[in-house]
A and B are shown apart, each in its own frame.
Chain A
Amino acid sequence: MRADTAAAYVIRGARLAGGEVTDLLLRDGIVAERGTGLSGGEVVDAAGLLALPGLVDLHTHLRQPGREDAETVESGSRAAALGGYTAVCAMANTDPVADTAGVVEQVYRLGREAGLVDVQPIGAVTVGLAGERLAELGAMADSAARVRIFSDDGHCVSDPALMRRALEYVKAFDGVVAQHAEEPRLTAGAQMNEGEVSARLGLAGWPAAAEEAVIARDALLAGHVGSRLHVCHVSTAGSVEILRWAKGKGIRVTAEVTPHHLLLTDELASSYDPVFKVNPPLRTAEDVQALREGLADGTIDCVATDHAPHTAEDKECEWAYARPGMLGLETALGVVAKAMVETGLLDWAGVVDRMSTAPARIAGLDGHGGDLRVGAPANLVLVDPRSPWTVEPHGLASLSVNTPYTGLELPARVVATFLRGTPTVLEGKAQW
């Protein structure tokens, strides 16, 4: 971690999400002053830039421990900072699995050492992600990592009795179960969305109903036992409808959507290039539209990247043999700008809510996602909303290159990111 946290910065002439143009003095880790003509620190010219609360990702695969050839906590943290994030929640499907206090504390410590974003470990729901018995959820909650989100992501907690118990048990420490909704009996061998494209390509289909059935079941269970449920990477129009119904019933359910499900469709599988293979799979244009509308109207609470680095050998192969997943941290804001802001579905205040405020609230990360008011932790990102850039895989900070956006022009760029007043990114460059 950098030692010069004592340095102060004046963000000159930035526009806040609400439209107000102001200077911000960042000192001692907080927003010390707001107003015009501020001084007392190194000046960062932010004319024409947006100053937004630092982004928060509920769903990041940092791959450490176990697959340090694909990503490490440090390289993933750097990618996150470059993407405008100040906090990420690290998924539990590492090797060993983050199903004990020891592993979540290791990840937490690695995050602190990297110092580029706050790394909040997620704990596994079941031992070894095997879906058979509960991991020691309380021990992870009580550990230095203070785990509050539990997920077997990559696997569904498909046993309904086990899911019910998990939902109930985490109430004791205000936890939440983040479900990877996929009925495994309906997706054995599945390779892509089941529909016209899978029929043509001869790839085994992953039916929308396999996701929707689990979301409906879990919402009913959460309502029954009065627990919080979070649904990972919602991907279908039907899921949006079920969430809308569940929220209307007062069930405490939240949901995330990935940037790629907001932009890309299953037609991309026609190339058989596994860079487009992801779980849940890319869906149809109708699903994309429903997801955008669901995010706009708040049925879907937030955007989460499901950043999933994979090595070249896990992607440069036959589609069926490739591992599912895509990079996401460094492109998320640009993709959301393209899919939601350019289309008029969200303004920048809406983006702040869906990418910072709501995920911080769901994760219980108090220092993140708040307004940039005087006294608040200086976790913020400066964004140039009119600075198109073209995605180039080897230009990304991740150790892996499996971005599905190669060659795509994105409309908005991260210029600077501050974590508690310290710049992790300046002029688009990571600071260490």
Chain B
Amino acid sequence: MIGHLLSAADLDRDDATLVLDTAAQMAAVSGREVKKLPTLRGRTVVNLFYEDSTRTRISFEAAAKRLSADVINFGAKGSSVSKGESLKDTALTLQAMGADAVVIRHPASGAPHRLAAWVAGSVVNAGDGTHEHPTQALLDAYTMRSRLGRVDGLRVAIVGDVLHSRVARSNVLLLATLGAQVTLVAPPTLLPVGVDAWPSEVAYELDPVLGKADVVMMLRVQRERMNQSFFPSAREYSRRYGLDGRRMALLPEHAIVMHPGPMNRGMEITPQVADSARSTIVEQVTNGVSVRMAVLYLLLSGGTKEAFREG
């Protein structure tokens, strides 16, 4: 693993497998009565969140605390950030405070790449604009592996607003690295120009894909997109691309249904599907903590096959 985790493309197959294996060990800790390891005692992890994302922030916070790191939450609201401080100045401040790792969530694609140039510590991308969310892809792969026993060879359908989705980008990259076959399913308006170059297939119809899918991953679709003519109406979107009971019945018996959250129930997924036995939505949250523990551990404790940058 490298000194930062900015993109799922930073991970080769060995790196990704090491994270998933380490996460499995971390999960064992989370099952104990005392959910804590001393590994990162004395290390400081900063959660630098420029977007509201309670679930991702507390997941990273829990992960860092279970490894005994000191955690500083630096939110965009009520801080100097809202007074117009630049990302670079914030980076220099964190640097001066001796942050060993900075977990950043930011509305601008590439902000973690910029930050990584300005701090000595490790930078973990916790979601940047419409670019990537690599720890989400790792927890999704972890969830697939724990439910289905493997990732290699799985057929994964990723359904919804691929154009604006950082979850889709990271998943396509990581799943291809791990040997899964990904099919993106979306109206053409919600697929980026240039998607042909991705290591994935594209389909415009959902039903034909479901019969062969081991995993269906539903992406959040914002209703407001219809105001920019990405689709005519929420109802038409749901009809063509939503996962309901009828469509779920088309899946092979072993197939699982995933969603990164937060869900728009009734838009891309019905309550019947979200709450079914196939749904891994709650497990994904649990697994997120283990995977983020593994990422922080591997970045900060030097327990990897390659040298780290200072930090």
Tell me whether B110 and A201 are in contact (CB under 8 A): yes
Given A194-B194, A196-B197, A202-B169, A316-B131 contact (CB < 8 Å): no
List the A side residues contacting B110 at CB < 8 Å: 201-203, 272, 318-320
Which of A191, A204, A272, A321 is most buried by chain B, counting CB atoms within 10 A of its CB? A272
Q: Does B302 contact A (CB under 8 A)?
A: no
List the B side residues contacting A316 at CB < 8 Å: 86, 88
Q: How far is the CA of A318 from the CA of B87 in the complex (A)?
A: 8
Q: What is the size category of the interface that chain A forms with chain B?
A: 20 to 34
Q: Does A195 contact B (CB under 8 A)?
A: yes
Q: Does B166 contact A (CB under 8 A)?
A: yes
List the A side residues contacting B132 at CB < 8 Å: 202
Q: Does A417 contact B (CB under 8 A)?
A: no
Q: Does B57 contact A (CB under 8 A)?
A: no
Q: Does A408 contact B (CB under 8 A)?
A: no
Tell me whether B106 and A195 are in contact (CB under 8 A): no
Task: Write the chain A residue with the least CB distance to B88.
Answer: A316
Given A318-B87, A318-B114, A198-B193 contact (CB < 8 Å): yes
Tell me whether B192 and A198 are in contact (CB under 8 A): yes
Task: Write the chain A residue with the least CB distance to B107.
Answer: A320
Tell me whether B88 and A201 are in contact (CB under 8 A): no
* CB within 8 Å: A-B pair count: 73
Q: How far is the CA of A319 from the CA of B106 in the complex (A)?
A: 12
Given A320-B109, A321-B108, A199-B86 contact (CB < 8 Å): no
Q: How far is the CA of A318 from the CA of B106 in the complex (A)?
A: 10
Tell me whether A272 and B192 are in contact (CB under 8 A): no
Q: Does A205 contact B (CB under 8 A)?
A: yes
Q: How far is the CA of A205 from the CA of B195 in the complex (A)?
A: 13
Tell me whether B193 and A202 are in contact (CB under 8 A): no
**A20-64 vs B: 1/0 string, CB under 8 Å?**
000000000000000000000000000000000000000000000
> Which residues of A175-201 have CB atoms within 8 Å of chain B's CB atoms?
191, 194-201
Q: How far is the CA of A198 from the CA of B195 in the complex (A)?
A: 10
Task: Write the chain A residue with the least CB distance to B169.
Answer: A202
> Which residues of B101-119 have CB atoms within 8 Å of chain A's CB atoms?
106, 108-111, 113-114
Question: How near does chain B come to A318, taking the closest CB pair, in angstroms?
Answer: 4
List the A side residues contacting B68 at CB < 8 Å: none
Given A272-B114, A318-B108, A199-B88 contact (CB < 8 Å): no
Q: Does B268 contact A (CB under 8 A)?
A: no
List the A side residues contacting B61 at CB < 8 Å: none
Given A272-B109, A319-B108, A199-B130 contact (CB < 8 Å): no
- A sample of 23 inter-chain contacts (CB < 8 A) reads A195-B194, A196-B194, A196-B197, A197-B194, A198-B192, A198-B193, A199-B198, A200-B198, A201-B110, A202-B109, A202-B110, A202-B169, A203-B131, A271-B113, A272-B111, A272-B114, A316-B86, A316-B88, A317-B114, A318-B87, A320-B108, A320-B109, A320-B129
Give chain A's interface residues, CB within 8 Å of chain B.
191, 194-205, 207, 271-273, 313, 316-321
In the A-B complex, the 7 residue pairs with the closest CB atoms: A272-B110, A202-B131, A199-B194, A199-B192, A318-B108, A196-B194, A202-B130
